Structure 1
């Protein structure tokens, strides 16, 4: 389809979409306005007819609940070259309900049509950052890895994992593109599928050790076929100093990864002389479970669903000033509302 900018209802009517394409929006389609709500395009037509489309305005964004602010960089890229001044709270900043988080100053026609898009960026990113930060704080200094790509649409997976690391504080991400956008190598080892295909954990672990470059940490799953403690010892004895960690991902059907399991595996590894082998815990982790498992002896946490399904923090954009005059809808305060944390982007 054409990637020409959408500015009028006539432009919308001319859009043709192939039924064979993936339904996710391309970068060009986002930048050209195809992911906005139609009423913002109708607004452009109406205001243009009235000679008001490019009236100078001030707009502000706020949320109704607290969180960790994120999405500023993406919003700035969306509005790059639009003659819009952006002032915002720095990414990673905690905020309270109704705090002014972002202020846009410029001609309404330069950014009004992007209201849907930029609010979606901010709401999603802030939700992911807030959930990730909760996990990181629960881990109290131990690494948290973001494994959430499988739980969201692939079009947004790298956005989510980038935010979880860059703003939320996670130590790494499993999504290849998400990690590369951060200048990192993706984090991850081997799935159960590889072990099931090999037919034996130890068999695969030996091959894994053989083909993995020196200096790269070996982390082996130990919950596929045998008792976790037994499997951990088999792998540790075979790989010795090469083994960096074992990963526990016991399914809920077998009791899941609990503190008792962590303590037993840690105790048996230590007793056998493998104190250097760390324990990575994964599988439906939440901040509460991270605290409990950390106390039991887990060293690293892989978190997926809690981060990616973190409640999106809805954002609202209000016009606060039109042509130099304070304005507001009923129930809101007219005129810009100051927040000393705002900085020019």
Structure 2
């Protein structure tokens, strides 16, 4: 451990960040000379929503690179449903047993964030959505959170440690406004001194009524006003937004947009998308429920072999026009069916690496159809 209480990459890669029983049983099996060839699949038997977004594969591949295993998986950004295998590992059990904890951690967490982001984007109905949850999670995983949120469809992220290629977005904190004698002084300073490419979005609920501050901020050069009103002071939020819009319009600022943030849920985004121009979403994405994946043996020494409650045998998921089907791996592909799991690692060697941009496009290309699916 270093200065902060967090696990380093070397410990994860060495299999030292694992549930203790894996280390204990591997030790027993080694002493007993037992090391069968197994195939394990990662599936979720239940989801928070009808569908999820598969994410976290890149970390899994980096973890298993050089380990003598084969890995087949859906591409990152794939849409999946309950009981569909999203990843399959084949190899000698002792060679990768201690990595199960990290594998599931990578996939469960990232897929949860990506799935939530996709559902929020759908709820926004075309309005921009920004990932503002950086302060709601441990800073050590900020890059992972922002990457998963971006794959899920957010338009930009707030954290400066977001992976390269993700646009950054942010406005100003209440503390900034409070550091000046008057809000007008803070807004004017921001309009004057912020870099030219930074949007002039002014926070307008620090001391006064939102509609009053919005008009005053517009006079100071705001291109958009951000309402971050805490729930304890909101009252009828729709009425507040509509009043702000009305006052901006009648005072000659029809082009000034309204940016809404402050503990927004997916339901809030859907409810206000007709009156707000953009959304900053925090915990609803960054603290999304994880996808409860499990990793189970489905074959032993090439034969179907599974515990109670799991379907034995390796499987493939096929997508056809309007439907999907999961079949035994050795079964003929259905007519017109496209297999979704493909080889990413063979004998420990990486055959393909996920590209973040491709994963994001994979999600965005499916959203209109998913909106109809629910």
- Equivalent in the alignment of 1:205: 187
3-state SS, counterpart of residue 105 of structure 1:
strand
- List per-residue Cα deviations over 1:106-161 (Å, max 9, x = no partner): 23233211001111111111111111111100001111111111111222232112
State the match for 1:195 in structure 2. 177
Residue 343 (1) aligns with residue 338 (2): no
Matched, 1:25 2:24: no
Aligned to 2:38: 57
- Say whether 1:233 aligns with 2:215: yes
Partners of 1:125 and 1:172 lie apart in 2 by: 17
Q: CA deviation at 1:89?
A: 1.7
The residue matched to 2:240 in structure 1 has which SS?
helix
Where 1:279 maps in the other structure, the secondary structure is strand
| Distance across 2 between alignment mates of 1:164 and 1:195 | 29
1:44-83 to 2 correspondences below 5 Å: 44-53=26-35, 55-66=36-47, 67-83=52-68
Tell me which stretches of 4 or more aligned residues in structure 1 moved more than 6 Å: none
Q: Secondary structure at the match of 2:179?
A: helix
TM-score normalised per structure 1: 0.88
The reply on whether 1:218 has 2:200 as its aligned counterpart is yes
Q: Is residue 249–residue 257 contact of structure 1 (8 Å, CA) maintained in 2?
A: no
Deviation at 1:186, TM superposition (A): 2.6
* Structure 1: tracts of 5 or more residues without a match: 1-16
- State whether structure 2 residue 304 is matched by structure 1 residue 332: no
Q: From the superposition, tell whether residues 94 and 256 of structure 1 become closer, same or farther in structure 2 (CA, over 3 Å).
A: farther
| Matching residue within 157, 160, 168 for 1:173 | 157
Aligned to 2:257: 278
SS in 2 for 1:155: helix
Residue of structure 2 in register with 1:147 after alignment: 132
Evaluate the alpha carbon distance shift between residue 257 and residue 134 of structure 1 in structure 2; reply closer, same or farther with a 3 A threshold: farther
> Residue 329 of structure 2 corresponds to which residue in structure 1?
none
SS state of the match for residue 338, structure 1? strand
Q: Pick from 19, 24, 34 the counterpart of residue 16 of structure 2.
A: 34
Q: Which has the higher contact order (CA 8 A, sep 6+)?
A: 2
Q: Which runs of 5+ in 2 are unaligned?
A: 319-339, 345-374
- Paired with 2:46 and 2:293, the residues of 1 have a C-alpha distance of 9
Say which of 231, 236, 247 aligns to 2:226. Answer: 247
Distance 1:154 1:214 in 2: 28
Q: How far apart, in 1, do the equivalents of 2:107 and 2:244 lie? A: 42
Report if aligned partners of 2:155, 2:167 keep a CA contact under 8 Å in 1: no
Instruction: Kindly indicate whether the alpha-carbon contact (under 8 Å) linking 1:139 and 1:294 is maintained by their aligned counterparts in 2.
Output: yes
Give 1:126-137 correspondences, 5 Å limit.
Answer: 126-137=111-122
1:161-198 deviation line (CA, Å, top 9, x unaligned): 210112x10011111112xx142343112100111111
Q: Give the Cα separation in 1 of the matches to 2:155 and 2:64.
A: 30
Change (3 A) 1:214 1:157: closer
Following TM superposition, by how much is the alpha carbon of 1:46 offset from its aligned partner in structure 2, in angstroms?
2.0
Query: Residue 12 of structure 1 corresponds to which residue in structure 2?
Result: none
Aligned residues: 319
Q: Deviation string for 1:236-295 (max 9, x for gaps)?
A: 1122xxx32110001122216711111111122122222221111001111211112111
Aligned to 1:306: 284
TM-score (norm 2): 0.81
Residue 135 of structure 2 corresponds to residue 156 of structure 1: no
Aligned partners of 2:137 and 2:286 also within 8 Å: yes
Match in the other structure for 2:355:
none
1:100 is the counterpart of 2:85? yes
